[in-house]
Amino acid sequence: MQDWIQTDLQPEQDTVGPQGKIFGAFAGTAVIAGLRIKAKQEKAMIIKNDFRYPPSGAIRRLHIYLPDDYDDTDETYPVMYFFDGHNLFFDSDATYGKSWGLKEFLDGWDKKMIIVGMECGHNGNERLWEYSPYRASRGMFSEHEPMGDATMQWIVNDVKPMIDREFRTYPNRECTGIGGSSMGGLMALYGLVRYNDVFSKGACVSSALGFCQPKVMIEMNNDPVSPDTRAFLSWGTGEAPGVQDVNAIDCHSGTYRRNKAVANKFEKQGAAAQLYCQVGGHHCEADWEKQVPFFMNWLWK
């Protein structure tokens, strides 16, 4: 197999000269090249690189946001890693045609940082298995070996070292965060707890806790976090079964109780947890986009 290929470009975007970045192989993992891409009339860059995913031997695309001054300074930046990277920046990349609008937020935000969005598999239920750290006793999540921890090991042992080597980052845990929604939110929570020596901040948005809450709590008992850990835990009233009034703050549903139990555990360990109920919020990118300013400001400021 060849070590690298050139990624495709989006029709509404311009390339920035011949700045394709070729990453070499390391630790037995082939790293595949991408091109730096600038949105028209914007300085901030999105780099798309295809990257070997050893748990399945397949390719997963990385969507890497660099601040607008990256090429003009020698500044070093904190990094936040996100699951479902294809849904972060451009509607044209997003699964359902709507992104989080994260690029627009970052372009106008007063804190410069690098974002690494990691794409999942898109065939069948690949995403569910790759983003599931636990096996359920029944139902869909009992039908396949969970790959969530293998995914986290890929991030910690392959993706993050490459990012820290190829870009100007602060590699320490205090400057490293993780985030995601739904199954990605569950993975952000799992990563924050199990790999707390790597990540100090987590955006756990609409996390899929329903099938694995007891295992999450056991995980938190077995792996106490550092007191400087910060966890943002959110859900929307439009997605939570048992909500009494979708137009009011939810303090009664099972979704609330699950997130509250996680928040209580973090706080018992001396860490900070922020519960956020999005009134009227549904399980979709359009509503998660509205949460971006809340969790980014709370985690990083």
Does residue 164 fall inside a structural domain?
yes
The DSSP bridge partners found for residue 109 are: none
Does residue 159 fall inside a structural domain?
yes
C-alpha 200/C-alpha 301 separation (Å) is 13
Per-residue confidence in pLDDT tens, the chain, 301 aa: 222 222 433 333 333 322 333 233 333 333 334 445 444 345 679 999 999 999 999 999 999 999 999 999 999 999 999 999 999 999 999 999 999 999 999 999 999 999 999 999 999 888 998 999 998 766 666 667 889 999 999 999 999 999 999 999 999 999 999 999 999 999 999 999 999 999 999 999 999 999 999 999 999 999 999 999 999 999 999 999 999 999 999 999 999 999 999 999 999 999 999 999 999 999 999 999 999 999 999 999 9
Does residue 169 fall inside a structural domain?
yes
Distance of CA 213 to the CA centre of its chain: 20
> Nearest 5 degrees, angle CA 57-CA 62-CA 63?
165
C-alpha 233/C-alpha 262 separation (Å) is 8
Q: CATH number, domain at 115?
A: 3.40.50.1820
C-alpha 253/C-alpha 240 separation (Å) is 7
How many domains does the chain fold into?
1
pTM, 2 dp? 0.87
| Residue numbers of the domain that contains 183 | 13-300
Does residue 3 fall inside a structural domain?
no
Does residue 5 fall inside a structural domain?
no
**Full strand arrangement of the beta sheet holding 272-278:** 13-15, 31-39, 45-53, 58-66, 114-118, 79-83, 176-181, 201-205, 230-236, 272-278
19 contacts: CB under 8 Å, gap ≥ 6: 35, 36
The terminus-to-terminus CA distance of the chain in angstroms comes to 44
Q: In this structure, what token pair is assigned to residue 165?
A: 């080597």
C-alpha 28/C-alpha 245 separation (Å) is 53
Does residue 24 fall inside a structural domain?
yes
Does residue 293 fall inside a structural domain?
yes
Does residue 21 fall inside a structural domain?
yes
